[in-house]
Amino acid sequence: MASIAAPGLALSVHRSHRRLTPATATTTTAASVPSLTIKSKHPTFPSSLNPKPSSSSPRNNFDILGSKKLQNVIKTTAVIGCGLYALSNGVSNAQLSGNGGGGSSGGSGGGGGGGGGGGGRDSFWSKIFSPAAIAGEEESQEWDSHGLPANIVVQLNKLSGFKKYKVSDIMFLDRRRGSTVGTEDSFFEMVSLRPNGVYTKAQLTKELETLATSGMFEKVDLDAKTNPDGTVGVTISFLESTWQSADRFRCINVGLMPQSKPIEMDPDMTEKEKLEYYRSQEKDYRRRIERSRPCLLPPPVQREILQMLREQGAVSARLLQKIRDRVQQWYHENGYACAQVVNFGNLNTKEVVCEVVEGDITQMVVQFQDKLGNVCEGNTQYPVVRRELPRQLRQGQVFNIEAGKQALRNINSLALFSNIEVNPRPDEKNEGGIIVEIKLKELEQKSAEVSTEWSIVPGRGGRPTLASIQPGGTVSFEHRNLKGLNRSILGSVTTSNFLNPQDDLAFKLEYVHPYLDGVYNSRNRTLKASCFNSRKLSPVFTGGPGVDEVPPIWVDRAGLKANITENFTRQSKFTYGLVMEEITTRDESSHISSRGQRVLPSGGISADGPPTTLSETGIDRMAFLQANITRDNTKFINGTIVGERNVFQVDQGLGIGSKFPFFNRHQLTMTRFVQLKQVEEGVGKAPPPVLVLHGHYGGCVGDLPSYDAFTLGGPYSVRGYNMGEIGAARNILELAAELRIPVRNTHVYAFAEHGNDLGSSKDVKGNPTEVYRRMGHGSSYGVGVKLGLVRAEYAVDHNSGTGAIFFRFGERF
């Protein structure tokens, strides 16, 4: 019977840029405001027909909102407020578009509220949207004088139907207490009339009817008192409904259940028939309770309400209103945005039954939209979206706004859609049901991009000049969402000189194939195959303290890689695959060099340093298996990371390649972020102090070319040293501890680190550690402060005993 009007709450994400440029992409969420108005269409009975509740059958059920009725009538006007939602994942813009009211389901028997009435009913809602709520009633500022002598009390039906009355003030008169009620009273919120509003007689009559049928009052009247200036003062006098005291409380979910239909009571019924009628009603209600599902309301809240009932004694309309507010408050605080109390039944029976429509999801619809917002057929396959949806959003569950947000985040992380909306909509066919609509706008499948750059350097006279006329830049293309299964091919080529690209061509071609076990399988494995190259400066060929420049060695790698990643959780994963690569070592002038160079004590340079490759030719080819397992249960507590991270990686040579490399190169990293103090979680609360303990062991058995040796020293190894300044070894151990103390909205930290080659430097061919006069072990300590993304730290290197200030990007651990 209840009709749910007004658009529901909508969550949406808008992606304004393509995935290729994530740095500049903005994600906006427009969370439009949920406003569900449930209105009933029950016929109203003339009050004279209704016996006084307290004197009627003690086992009757009374609807608080339709008092003085014998039927179980559901009639509530509840507006659900869901406030403002902003997604945590990079939402820059949240919109709130209110749509209060609109539930003008003018009841046949006059039970329906006025058009704009719905909007102003709920206190919470009306506070936010009071302008919108009143707007409908103040369409015209013109009003008519009452044309009556001043200071006389006029009954509502005596007012003229053709005049627009201006209401100067509204007074509530509690007849039982004999006093007026303040504006803070919960009853006051039920009235949509506002002082200085202009109303016709019809509107006022409707208002009175609404109040009379709300069930809160046994009797309610509306009088107008004429003022000398032509306006009228409205006095609403009422008698609050009360029932027997109750000592039990029960909350049931009546969503999706047909509302009990009142059987017309024949006014000519005999006493016996009446008794029969009551009994059948009672039976119906009991059956209804039995059929209903248990509700989500937790026992503590239920006990709290029971306490309220016991303290109060008699059950009054105000109390029921309070209970309703408390119950709804719990639901809304816990994200059940569509839940509402629709009825209180079983009154006068020592038990109060609170009927809640929790917002059961009857259907979940995924809809694709084209650029203009028209519904279209999407390229993405439905199961791809479906597997991202939390179970709580499936059919049969109770709609929860948090689950909606989670769905939004999950779908957003697919990076397939430019706009995502999760929108609960009332189910027209299924009373109290919610249809979750997910509207998706797909991103362009193919994209290509060319970016060029010219280097500008200061020229003669300080004027900027082009370093050269050769153009450099990146050409990239991407083909996303192949077959609608989120498979993609991505390629890019970067060079600093397109005219002569063989100098420093960097390329990457990658194919990503998610849902390896089938899109319906919950196992989340992704296959990735790529073809890559890279160029890095080898930290193995670095001098120790006090050693002059060591001629650098560049390590170029090019090859193929195929791996499978299995995600266990968002952060924990297991990757395994095959790598085939060619490693070329070059000197400064890009010539292939098979041995490192060293500076002789006499100042000369000799090219008989440690061998750079296993084959001793400067070019190695090898194939090996690579596996990496990461366990990461870190989480953020007030912006500070806490938890544990363990990574184990092993490269297993297969004996395929130059000199048949057979090796087992392994490393284990253990990092713990120990929370030193329990803190309250919440926005703006101080983060806890954290102790970070970190250990890293690396080792290799078998063939170890120098480019695969473990190096010690550097911002991610032992701070305070240069990359590789401590040594290059076969087995290494690094230990670090850092204490982070929050200060304002950042933190300061102190750290101590140590790196040791475990005497294994000599086990690297050519002993690069000794050749370049490095210690093989070293410690450092220091202090630092985090300034946004930048870490500024002062670190003292223990080998030379000198300190220096460093600025680093990103985190050490």
Least separation in angstroms between CB 708 and other proteins: 11
Kindly tell me which of 648 and 806 has the beta carbon lying closer to other proteins.
648
| Nearest residue (CB) to other proteins, 507 versus 576 | 576
CA atoms of 105 and 39, how far apart (whole Å): 7
- Per CB under 8 A, the list member of 54, 186, 430, 572 interacting with other proteins is 572
Record the tokens describing residue 776, joined without a space: 């093989």
Question: Residue 661 or 778: which CB sits closer to other proteins?
Answer: 661
Q: Rounded CA gap, 221 and 422, in Å?
A: 45
- Nearest of 29, 136, 147, 144 to residue 93 by alpha carbon: 29
The phi and psi torsions of 341 (rounded to 5 degrees) equal -85, 125
Tokens at residue 586, please? 């070059």
Q: Which amino acid is at 504?
A: D
Interface with other proteins, residue 646, by CB under 8 A? yes
Query: Using CB under 8 A, which of the segments 213-221, 395-403, 434-442, 487-495 binds other proteins?
Result: 395-403
User: How many helices (H) does the chain have, and how many strands (E)?
Assistant: 8, 45
Q: Which of 46, 461, 462, 601 binds other proteins (CB under 8 A)?
A: 601
Closest CA to 513 of 496, 493, 488: 488
Residue 738's alpha-carbon distances to 453, 610, 630, 750, 785, in angstroms, are 41, 36, 22, 6, 12
- Least Å from the CB of residue 712 to other proteins: 18
Q: Which helix (H) or strand (E) holds 784?
A: strand 777-787
Q: Could you give the CA distance from residue 767 to residue 762 in angstroms, rounded to a whole number?
A: 5
Neighbours of 789 (CB within 10 A): 9
**Segment near other proteins (CB under 8 A); pick from 111-119, 179-187, 447-455, 569-577:** 569-577
**How far is the C-alpha of 547 from the C-alpha of 774, rounded, in Å?**
9
In one letter, which amino acid is 733?
L
SS3 content of the chain, % helix, strand, coil (to 5): 15, 40, 45
Task: Verify binding: residue 764, other proteins, rule CB under 8 A.
Answer: yes
Nearest-angstrom CA–CA distance, 562 and 730? 27
Judged by CB under 8 A, the residue of 160, 392, 638, 675 near other proteins is 392
Residue 633: CB minimum distance to other proteins, A: 4
Contact status: 624 vs other proteins (CB under 8 A): no
626 binds other proteins (CB under 8 A): no
Q: Which of these segments, 124-132, 347-355, 367-375, 397-405, binds other proteins (CB under 8 A)? A: 397-405
Tokens at 91, concatenated: 């939402």
- CB of 351 closer than 8 Å to CB of 370: no
Q: Which stretch binds other proteins (CB under 8 A): 308-316, 421-429, 681-689, 758-766?
A: 758-766
Which of 386, 387, 762, 808 touches other proteins by CB under 8 A? 762
Site for other proteins (CB under 8 A): which residue of 58, 195, 258, 702? 702
* Spatial distance between the Cα atoms of 698 and 648, rounded to a whole number of angstroms: 10
Residues 320-349 that bind other proteins (CB under 8 A): 334-336
Longest dimension (CA), the chain: 126
For the window 655-684, what string marks contact with other proteins as x by the rule CB under 8 A? -------xxx-x-x----------------
Residue 685's φ and ψ, nearest 5 degrees, are -80, 155
Q: Decide whether 257 or 627 has the Cβ nearer to other proteins.
A: 627
Structure tokens at 88: 């945590």
Binding of other proteins at residue 532 (CB under 8 A)? no
Beta-bridge mates of residue 550: none
Contact status: 633 vs other proteins (CB under 8 A): yes
Name which of 69 and 405 has its Cβ closer to other proteins.
Answer: 405
Q: Which residues of 250-286 are buried (b: 16+ CB within 10 A; e: fewer)?
A: bbbbbbbbebbebeebeeeeeeeebeebbeebbebbe
CA 198/CA 194 separation, integer angstroms: 9
Among 49, 171, 456, 600, binds other proteins (CB under 8 A): 600
Our CB check for other proteins shows the closer of 369 and 400 to be 400
Q: Is 606 in the site for other proteins (CB under 8 A)?
A: yes
- For residues 17 and 362, give the distance between their C-alpha atoms in angstroms, rounded to a whole number: 34
Measured between alpha carbons, how far apart are the two ends of the chain, in Å? 60
Residue 733 sits in the site that holds other proteins (CB under 8 A): no
By CB under 8 A, name the one of 5, 36, 443, 704 that touches other proteins.
704
Structural tokens at position 594: 């098979």
> From the list 50, 160, 533, 652, which residue makes contact with other proteins (rule: CB under 8 A)?
652
Between residues 391 and 429, which has the closer beta carbon with respect to other proteins? 391
Please choose, out of 84-92, 95-103, 361-369, 594-602, the segment that lies near other proteins by the rule CB under 8 A: 594-602
Q: Contacting other proteins (CB under 8 A), which of 477, 507, 554, 648?
A: 648
Q: Which helix (H) or strand (E) holds 299?
A: helix 299-312
Check residue 771 for interaction with other proteins (CB under 8 A).
yes
Q: How far is the CB of 735 from other proteins (least distance, A)?
A: 19
Query: For residues 574 and 794, which CB has a smaller minimum distance to other proteins in the complex?
Result: 574
Q: How far is the CB of 801 from other proteins (least distance, A)?
A: 19
Binding residue for other proteins, selected from 74, 91, 191, 403, defined by CB under 8 A:
403
Comparison of 368 and 663: residue with beta carbon closer to other proteins = 663
- Count of residues of this chain found to bind other proteins when the rule CB under 8 A is applied: 43
Cα separation, 768 vs 777, in Å, equals: 14
Per-residue tokens: 622: 């090898």
If the CB atoms of residues 373 and 702 are measured against other proteins, the closer one turns out to be 702
Stretch that binds other proteins, among 68-76, 202-210, 390-398, 716-724 (CB under 8 A): 390-398
- β-pairing, 78-79 vs 164-174, is unpaired
**Pairing status of strand 506-513 against strand 525-537:** antiparallel
Q: Tell the smallest beta-carbon distance from residue 243 to other proteins (Å).
A: 33
Task: Kindly list the residues in this chain that would bind other proteins in the complex (CB under 8 A).
Answer: 334-336, 390-392, 400, 402-403, 406, 568-569, 572, 574, 600-602, 606, 608, 614, 627, 629, 631, 633, 646, 648, 650, 652, 662-664, 666, 668, 701-704, 730, 762-765, 771
